[in-house]
Amino acid sequence: MTKRKPPTNFCQVCGDLVPTARYSVVCDKEICKRENQRRLHQRYERRQREQNRPPGTPTIVCEVCGEVLEWLAPAHLRMHGLTLAQYQQQHPDASTIAQRVRQSRSAGSMTRAYHLKYVGKEPDHQLYEFLVGTLLGDGSLEKHKASARYGEGGSNENYLHWKYEFLKQYFHCTWKERISSPHTKSGKRYQGWWLRTATHPLLAQWHAQWYQPQKIVPKNLVEPYLTPFALSVWFCDDGNTDQVRSYRASLYTMAFTIDENIWLSQMLGFKFGLTAKVVEESSTKRPFLSFTKPERQKLQAIIVPFHIPGMEYKYLQLGGGEA
């Protein structure tokens, strides 16, 4: 009786022989396993796109792999080791974008041209104070080609809408309500709001100073514009009052380095007479600013008079009450 040979297969990533692999498609090398997982994820995303695409949607076909798409994204071309210019050179008659997407982008260009004509207030000291406060906190500047825009999202509708109303004095702004994708474990969906400004040369200048490439503390901007109003916005974004440890207040500045935290602590002392201690979070060892109870009361006297909507619970906690 002849002995049967063990089944063999070839790794679909590196091509090596995979013995006794009746069902396996990749070898045991870690790099091949990761690449296989990436390919499986791409196939899953492709099926999802095809299922969610409304019937009759104009599409194009990738001449390399045959996938049906609405436009050839750079990420898709990178899978084939191509740039858009190389793809067009190899397939000069192939479409790279469906008509519907082309029309949508043309409309977007017209909208951006309208943004340049937006009639609003000229940037002033109060805007700079707001930007310093929110960029030390939750706000962000998003690079967009040669320019930049302000963007922020969250679940506190009243607070974010106050920011929207403030910023639209200076820039064209959009305000959208969003429902999140289902959570991977719980399946729950969460409601949130998102605001964005149009791109603006001023925001591009500020982006260049706040991101290198991660967010930093630009001392030349923070020092002149860290005012009581800026501090109020900063606390509303990233402030917290510990209801357990003697009502200590904190500014969560973990995004910045220890040296930047020390400098911010010194600025708070110089500008407002506040003593902020730089401490480290127990689990991650990231630095943040902490205020004792007497310092918390000084902080309260500075920021509460601004009465920013949506922050009533923080003002209450800061005053020693419970939200």
Are 140 and 197 found together in one domain? yes
Task: Measure the CA–CA gap between 201 and 207, rounded to whole angstroms.
Answer: 10
Q: pLDDT per residue over 168-210, tens digit each?
A: 999 989 998 877 777 777 777 778 889 999 888 899 999 999 9
Question: Is residue 15 included in any domain, yes or no?
Answer: no
Range list of H helices, the chain = 30-52, 74-79, 84-90, 99-116, 125-136, 157-167, 201-210, 219-225, 228-238, 258-272, 293-303, 312-318
Task: Measure the CA–CA gap between 226 and 233, rounded to whole angstroms.
Answer: 10
Question: Is residue 132 included in any domain, yes or no?
Answer: yes
CB 196 within 8 A of CB 218: no
Task: Measure the CA–CA gap between 110 and 106, rounded to whole angstroms.
Answer: 6
**Lookup: tokens for 4:** 């049967």
Task: Measure the CA–CA gap between 50 and 64, rounded to whole angstroms.
Answer: 18
pLDDT of residue 127: 96
Within 13 Å and on the Cβ side, how many CA atoms surround 142?
Answer: 12
Are 158 and 100 found together in one domain? no
Question: Is residue 153 included in any domain, yes or no?
Answer: yes
Are 109 and 133 found together in one domain? no
Are 198 and 150 found together in one domain? yes
Domain boundary among 80, 97, 117: 117
Domain boundary among 117, 133, 155: 117
Question: Is residue 2 included in any domain, yes or no?
Answer: no
Are 280 and 223 found together in one domain? yes
pLDDT of residue 323: 44
Are 234 and 204 found together in one domain? yes
Task: Measure the CA–CA gap between 230 and 135, rounded to whole angstroms.
Answer: 10
3-class secondary structure per residue, 181-203: CCCCCCCCCCEEEEEEECCCHHH
Are 167 and 286 found together in one domain? yes
pLDDT of residue 23: 55
Are 97 and 207 found together in one domain? no
List the pLDDT tens digit at each of the 323 positions of the chain.
555 555 567 777 777 777 655 555 778 888 888 888 887 887 787 788 777 777 777 888 888 888 888 878 887 888 788 888 888 888 888 888 877 777 666 555 555 555 567 778 899 999 999 999 999 999 999 987 778 889 888 889 999 999 999 999 999 899 988 777 777 777 777 788 899 998 888 999 999 999 988 899 999 999 999 999 999 999 999 998 877 665 688 999 999 999 999 999 999 999 999 999 999 888 888 999 999 988 988 999 999 899 999 999 888 888 755 54
Question: Is residue 39 included in any domain, yes or no?
Answer: no
Domain harbouring 144, CATH code: 3.10.28.10
Are 72 and 210 found together in one domain? no
In total, how many domains does the chain have? 2
Question: Is residue 4 included in any domain, yes or no?
Answer: no
Q: Which residues of 90-124 are buried (b: 16+ CB within 10 A; e: fewer)?
A: eeeeebbbbeebeeeeeeeeeeeeebeeeeeeebe
Domain boundary among 74, 101, 117: 117
Domain range holding 110? Answer: 58-117
CB 251 within 8 A of CB 276: yes
Report the mean per-residue pLDDT for the chain.
84
Question: Is residue 241 included in any domain, yes or no?
Answer: yes
Kindly report whether the peptide bond that precedes residue 182 is cis, defined as omega within 30 degrees of 0: no
Q: pLDDT per residue over 264-282, tens digit each?
A: 999 999 999 999 999 988 8
- Taken in order 45, 50, 53, 57, the sign of the CA dihedral is positive
Are 166 and 302 found together in one domain? yes
DSSP secondary structure string for all residues of 64-127: TT--EESB--HHHHHHTT--HHHHHHH-TT--SB-HHHHHHHHHHHHHHHHHHT---PPP-HHH
Are 136 and 278 found together in one domain? yes
pLDDT of residue 10: 77
**First CA to last CA distance, the chain:** 82
Q: What is the pTM (predicted TM-score) of this model?
A: 0.64
Are 74 and 171 found together in one domain? no
Question: Is residue 286 included in any domain, yes or no?
Answer: yes
